[in-house]
Structures are given as C-alpha cells and as structure tokens.
C-alpha cells in the first residue's frame, strides 16, 4: 500500500506543477484537496503532508489507517474536514477517530453520519462550519 500511495503523491505533485503553469490557473491559485473516503484519504493525507501548496483538505473514513498515514497526519496544519460514515462495516470507527485526532490542524472538524460510505450523502457539510474548505481557500488566496 505505501508504495502505491507514495507513487500517487509524486504523480499528484507533478499534476499540480503542470496545472499551475496554465494561464487560466496560474502559480498563485489556491489548492485544496478533497479525496475519497478510502484510497483518496490514504493518498491525500500523505499528499497534504508533503505538499505546501495545499491550503485546506477534506478526508474521511478509516479504511487504510496505518502508522505512515498517522505520521503524515501529524504534519498537516491546514484546515481539515473529516467525514466518518458511522455505520460502515468496512470502516473501522476507532481507526477513523485516531486519524482525526492525529491531524495537527487547529482548524479541524469531524462530521459523522449514520450509514456506510456508499449511501451517506455529505450534502450540507460546509453549511454549518464557520470556516469551510471554500472560504479557507479564498482567504489564503487573498493574503
């Protein structure tokens, strides 16, 4: 798993490099990460820890929480929203909570909803949070 995630991090960083040279995006555009609940988080936590251009992130689940992911989460200080499907037979709730606890961000929120990762709809997650992913990206871009 780690080698796949490490390869994906390198590929995503190369993708960011390529996107930021495009005139319609530019080198100063804010970058947020919103991955999936399984591999999207396993890769995204490592990516957000390694990539200083990411200024806010959404992660979720507890599928692939191992020591390298926990160590990477401890390096993440940008605003984080964490989505946890509460009743998922494939998501270890305690692993998800451990990952959430590991994030070093002073701005982190945990959103737990009943259901599994296939049926839970995260509509309105941003609506109740004073600093949303969107506003976090805009604020950092305007500085």
* Angle at alpha carbon of residue 38, lines to 87 and 88, rounded to 5°: 10
The fold for domain 2-117 equals Rossmann fold (3.40.50)
Check residues 97 and 90 and name the one with the higher pLDDT. 97
State the Cα–Cα distance between residues 48 and 33, nearest whole angstrom.
7
Query: Which run of H or of E encompasses 31?
Result: strand 31-34
State the Cα–Cα distance between residues 88 and 118, nearest whole angstrom.
9
Tokens of 27: 């080198």
pLDDT digits (tens, 9 = 90+) for 122-140: 555 555 444 455 555 555 4
11 torsion bin: left (phi>0), alpha (psi -120 to 50), beta (else): alpha
Q: What pLDDT sits at residue 136?
A: 57
Query: Which run of H or of E encompasses 80?
Result: strand 80-85
Q: What pLDDT sits at residue 141?
A: 46
């Amino acid at each position: 798993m780690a080698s796949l995630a490490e390869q994906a991090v390198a590929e995503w960083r190369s993708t960011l490099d390529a996107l930021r040279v495009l005139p319609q995006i530019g080198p100063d555009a804010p970058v947020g990460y919103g991955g999936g609940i399984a591999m999207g988080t396993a890769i995204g936590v490592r990516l957000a820890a390694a990539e200083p251009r990411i200024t806010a992130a959404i992660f979720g689940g507890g599928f692939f929480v191992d020591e390298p992911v926990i160590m990477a989460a401890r390096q993440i200080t940008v605003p984080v929203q964490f989505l946890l499907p509460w009743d998922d037979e494939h998501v270890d709730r305690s692993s998800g909570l451990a990952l959430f606890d590991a994030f070093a961000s002073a701005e982190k929120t945990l959103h737990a909803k009943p259901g599994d990762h296939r049926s839970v709809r995260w509509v309105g997650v941003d609506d109740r949070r004073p600093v949303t992913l969107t506003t976090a990206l805009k604020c950092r871009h305007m500085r």
